[in-house]
Amino acid sequence: MNRRRWLQAALLLAAFGASATARAGLAEQAPLVSLGGTPLPASTTAGRVVLVVNVASYCGYSGQLSDLELLYNRYRSRGLVVLGVPCNQFGQEPGTASEIQNFCSTRYGVTFPLLAKQDVNGPLRSGLYRYLVDSSVGGRSDVRWNFEKFLVGRDGRVLARFSSATSPLDAVVTTAIEVALGR
């Protein structure tokens, strides 16, 4: 890993008050509901680093699902959870919960948790996305497209935001994850 990239990510996370102390998990910031419609157990995210990504089956970026699965498998034993959040606000996720689950698992081998479909923008923006977007890192600016990524620390604070075009395997993302995990 490039030392300069690591230092940049460490400084970025430090600037936003990243803490190794687990005070509140992401589930305490907003209720999380699984794609199957049941509440996601708080233990799924409590004390973990979480990468939240709005996903869509018919998006040009849907190939990132494979990369997100690679990240999940690489870092989950160290405390990373990837949360996929289906969203049809950009017209690219019209499927039902079972169609979305089938697409993600069959085509891309997704095993990370998928949440219920939700709005990421506008007056019906979900509580999760209100929390992410309204954070200092979120900058109160709308999600611009599918596969935008938010990194949340073990304490529930939003640490970083990455554009749709930034691959989940890009060094800036993996470095930020490693710093948040405590290397």
The two three-digit tokens of residue 117, written as one number: 């479909």
Tell me if 104 sits within 8 A of 111, measured CB to CB.
Answer: no
Distance (Å, rounded) from C-alpha 111 to C-alpha 115?
12
Tell me if 28 sits within 8 A of 42, measured CB to CB.
Answer: yes
CA trace torsion 72, 138, 101, 171 (10° rounding): -30
**Cα-Cα end-to-end distance for the chain:** 11
Q: Which of 59, 132, 133, 173 is catalytic?
A: 59
Distance (Å, rounded) from C-alpha 80 to C-alpha 115?
16
In the DSSP assignment, the letter for residue 21 is S
* Helix H or strand E segment including 134: helix 127-134
59 is catalytic: yes
Distance (Å, rounded) from C-alpha 103 to C-alpha 109?
9
Hey, which residues are catalytic here? 59
